[in-house]
Amino acid sequence: MIKGGPKKDLQGKQIQSILISQPKPETEKSPYFDLAKKFNIKLDFYPFIRVEGLPAKEFRKQKIDILAFTAVIFTSRNAVDHFFRICEEMKVKVSQDCKYFCITEAVALYLQKFILYRKRKVFYGADGSTKGVLEVMNKHRDNEKFLFPSSDSQKKDIEEWLKTNKCEYATATLYKTVSNDVKEILGKTNYDMIVFFSPSGVKSLFENVPSFEQNGTRIGAFGPTTSAAVEEAGLRLDVKAPAPQAPSMAAALDQYLAGLNKK
């Protein structure tokens, strides 16, 4: 699928194959497998990126005292994983009074792996957008000192908001994203749709196939920053999640595929 397949009129075109740019789910109960059966489509999984955590030795060079902060901002599960990994490696015990501001409810609920979840200290945006979580943070900005765990390629919108609103904050780089080699899988199948879950996934596509042309290939994106990256790359975005009636990518694909079948 080096050049996205031949140009075709998308109106009413049925989808027979989808590439999900994430690892294959470990459980057979995944809604993605239900989708494959329901619509009789080929569904492949292949991560476009991998995440490599920064060791504690490297983190210390940033001279950030985690315990000096009263609130932590999370924009992904990776950020949650690596924040608590670094805390464990450095034997840092985060205060029970620490507040957590999460970009989506899914990320907020993921915190239950690491903390005793309390509504009074875990917050998230209503619509899963950066704007949504910033609106929540705005109510607390004068009373909190924010720590923003991120990757080496994190989009700067939240950091810019913190700076503009003169918040006390620090950005902590805890992990980096590295592109996987996906040339072989893209060459094997002429996928009707590719689904992305991070801006780094979109970047990986063009690092692997600089001459990629979308043509008839549909594009799906999960999360506001991923959607923005798709459009900034000059690609047409066909399926966007989360949405009011589709909180997950699986739900958004279900709606989209059902809509095609009605045509």
Query: pLDDT (tens digit, 9 = 90+) per residue, 132-143?
Result: 999 999 999 999
Q: What is the reported pLDDT for 129?
A: 81
CA distance from start to end of the chain:
26
Structure tokens at 5: 């397949």
Phi and psi at residue 115, to the nearest 5°: -135, 165
Short-list 76, 63, 121, 114, CA closest to 93? 114
CATH for 52-177 is: 3.40.50.10090
Q: pLDDT band for position 117 (50/70/90)? A: confident
Report which of 211, 230, 210 is spatially closest to residue 219, judged by C-alpha positions: 230
* 166: its two tokens: 């003169």
How much is the pLDDT for 83?
98
Give the residue extent of every domain in the chain. 17-48+180-261, 52-177
Taking residues 237-257, what's their average pLDDT? Answer: 93
Beta strands 49-53 and 168-179: pairing type? antiparallel
Residue type, 212: F
pLDDT at residue 263, as a whole number:
67
pLDDT at 159: 94
Q: How confident is the model at residue 104 (pLDDT cuts 50, 70, 90)?
A: confident
pLDDT higher than 60, residue 7: no
Cis before 247? omega within 30: no
pTM value > 0.85: no
Short-list 195, 184, 259, CA closest to 230: 195
Whose structure tokens read 């709606």?
A: 255
51-55 long-range contacts, CB within 8 A, separation 24+: 51/78, 51/82, 51/151, 51/175, 51/176, 51/177, 51/178, 52/175, 52/176, 52/177, 52/178, 53/82, 53/85, 53/86, 53/174, 53/175, 54/82, 54/86, 54/173, 54/174, 54/175, 54/176, 55/89
Looking at residue 12, its pLDDT comes to 52
Domains 17-48+180-261 and 52-177 share a fold: yes
Region 29-35: what's the mean pLDDT?
A: 95
Q: Find out if CATH 1.10.10.10 is the number for domain 17-48+180-261.
A: no
What phi-psi label fits residue 10: left (phi over 0), alpha (psi between -120 and 50 degrees) or beta? alpha
The answer, yes or no, to whether residue 1 has pLDDT greater than 70, is no
Contacts of residue 112, defined as CB under 8 A and 6 or more positions apart, other chains included, come to none
Segment 154-181 mean pLDDT: 93
What pLDDT was estimated at residue 99?
96
